[in-house]
């Protein structure tokens, strides 16, 4: 890329500042979500190899395959779209532009149709655990800004919604992943399109049945759904699934 083109690319891939009240981690996140079945591990290996052109220590890659075990709350009046897998890349912010350029221009094999990309910042509510991930993404309510959406989820909804997670007898992790639409659009390629999601919830657990150990009351579940109506667009689908990390070609 020539100097002038790179300057233009850099100017078009600057993250939109979030409100100061939204405290994010000092790293960025890329999330590829697969709408059709594929060999997630092989795609992740290619991305890891690409990342080696940058500082290998600056990018951490995790690949996940669906367990298919998530069941939507029957009281949720929202369409649910299940996904088949995901790849998460957490990266140091000083390689952000170079990473987006790689994602935008590199050749990747085995990426199925209906693959989306999200790039943004992370608000860490509870420290992550492994190997299971409940991934759920939603669009913001019509008529509210990105700042309003981010502030409400990070400072009102998440701290109250995880109250029962903190009291669970097993470790539970919770990240709020706030998507930057401009960064995501800059990384689109022939292999994936921008997700259109404004925020992803990452809840991590040590076993597939740990969610059953959370003592959630009907009153708390009712509050969670009622409060989501303040910032989530229920007319658009809830996207996600319960996933398990892959550390080899066999999940």
Residue 122 · residue 15 · CB < 8 Å: no
- The residues, ordered by sequence, that sit 6+ positions from 50 with a Cβ below 8 Å of its Cβ are 102, 103, 106
- Tell me the CATH architecture of domain 22-246: 2-Layer Sandwich (3.30)
Other beta carbons within 10 angstroms of residue 197's beta carbon come to: 25
Cβ(23)–Cβ(123) below 8 Å: yes
pLDDT on residue 168:
79
What is the residue-level pLDDT of the chain in tens, covering all 251 positions?
A: 434 454 544 455 567 788 888 999 999 999 999 999 999 999 999 999 998 889 888 999 999 999 998 888 888 889 999 999 999 999 999 999 999 999 999 999 999 999 999 999 999 999 999 999 999 999 999 999 999 999 999 999 998 888 877 777 888 999 999 999 999 999 999 999 999 999 999 999 999 888 777 756 788 888 889 999 999 999 999 999 999 999 755 44
**Residue-level pLDDT at 248:** 55
Cβ atoms of 59 and 94 closer than 8 Å? no
Asked if residue 29 lies in contact with residue 121, where contact means CB atoms within 8 angstroms, the answer is yes
* HSE (side-chain half, CA atoms, 13 Å) at 169: 5
Check residue 15 and give its pLDDT.
Answer: 76
User: Hey, where are the domains in the chain?
Assistant: 22-246
What tokens were used for 176? 């709020």
**β-strands 27-34, 193-194 pairing:** unpaired
Task: Give the predicted TM-score (pTM) of the model.
Answer: 0.92
Residue 33 has what pLDDT? 98
Q: What is the pLDDT of residue 51?
A: 87
Q: What is the pLDDT of residue 124?
A: 95
In Å, the largest CA–CA distance within the chain is: 59
Q: Quote the tokens at residue 38.
A: 């594929």
- Write the CA distances from 251 to 65, 127, 244, integer angstroms: 7, 24, 8
- Rounded CA-CA distance 248/40 in Å is 10
The predicted pLDDT at position 9 comes to: 45
Query: Distance between CA atoms of 70 and 84, rounded to whole angstroms?
Result: 12
d(CA 144, CA 126): 26
E strand residue ranges, 108-198: 115-126, 132-138, 172-179, 193-194
CA-CA distance, 144 to 156, in Å (whole number)? Answer: 15
- Cα–Cα distance measured from residue 150 to residue 246, given in angstroms and rounded to the nearest whole number: 30
Q: What is the pLDDT of residue 222?
A: 87
């Amino acid at each position: 890329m020539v100097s002038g083109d790179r300057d233009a690319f850099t100017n078009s891939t600057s993250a939109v500042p979030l409100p100061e009240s939204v405290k994010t981690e000092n790293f960025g996140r890329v999330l590829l979500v697969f709408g059709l079945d594929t060999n997630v591990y092989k795609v992740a290996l290619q991305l890891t190899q690409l990342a080696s052109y940058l500082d290998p220590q600056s990018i951490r890659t995790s690949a996940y395959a669906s367990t298919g075990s998530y069941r939507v709350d029957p009281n949720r009046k929202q369409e649910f779209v299940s996904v088949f897998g995901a790849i998460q890349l957490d990266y140091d912010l000083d390689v952000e532009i170079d990473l987006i350029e790689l994602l935008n221009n590199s050749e990747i094999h085995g990426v199925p149709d209906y693959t989306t990309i999200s790039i943004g910042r992370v608000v860490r509510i509870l420290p992550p655990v492994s190997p299971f991930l409940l991934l759920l993404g939603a669009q913001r309510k019509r008529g509210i800004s990105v700042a309003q959406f981010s502030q409400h989820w990070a400072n009102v909804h998440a701290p109250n919604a995880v109250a029962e997670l903190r009291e669970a007898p097993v470790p539970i992790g919770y990240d709020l992943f706030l998507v930057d639409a401009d960064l995501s659009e800059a990384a689109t390629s022939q292999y994936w399109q921008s997700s259109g999601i404004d925020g992803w919830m990452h809840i991590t657990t040590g076993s597939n049945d740990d969610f059953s150990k959370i003592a959630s009351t009907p009153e708390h579940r009712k509050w969670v759904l009622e409060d989501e109506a303040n910032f989530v667009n229920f007319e658009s689908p809830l996207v996600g699934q319960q996933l398990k990390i892959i550390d080899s070609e066999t999940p």
